[in-house]
Amino acid sequence: MQINAHLKKDLSYYMVRWLAFGACAGLFSPVTPHEAMATGVLWGMKTQHFIWGLLFGAACGYAFTWSQNRFNLIRDKKTTWSITLAFWMGFNIAFAGMSML
């Protein structure tokens, strides 16, 4: 797959931010008593949360960058925040659904 230079630059710019956000959200997400009792290892659960956070950040970062370059070429702030909230909510619902499986 060929990626143009503009998309590649934006991808590296936005992906770092989304990965950092996902990693922080994963690290600071609480370990429920059910998870703690099932595994008995706190840091194992925090590592799993961290990895899921990175996956969340990677998915959001790629989708956000693609949609910014597709639908928001003028970089309007309202559109940017709308895209950000839409992908954050959409991927949160998708990842929550996957965690229930």
User: For 65-68, which contacts have Cβ atoms below 8 Å and span 24 or more sequence positions?
Assistant: 65/7, 65/10, 65/11, 65/14, 65/15, 66/7, 68/10, 68/14
The per-residue pLDDT for range 3-52, each reduced to its tens digit, is 677 677 788 888 999 999 999 988 888 877 776 666 667 777 888 889 99
CA separation for the pair 78, 74 (Å, rounded):
11
Residue 86 has pLDDT above 90, yes or no: yes
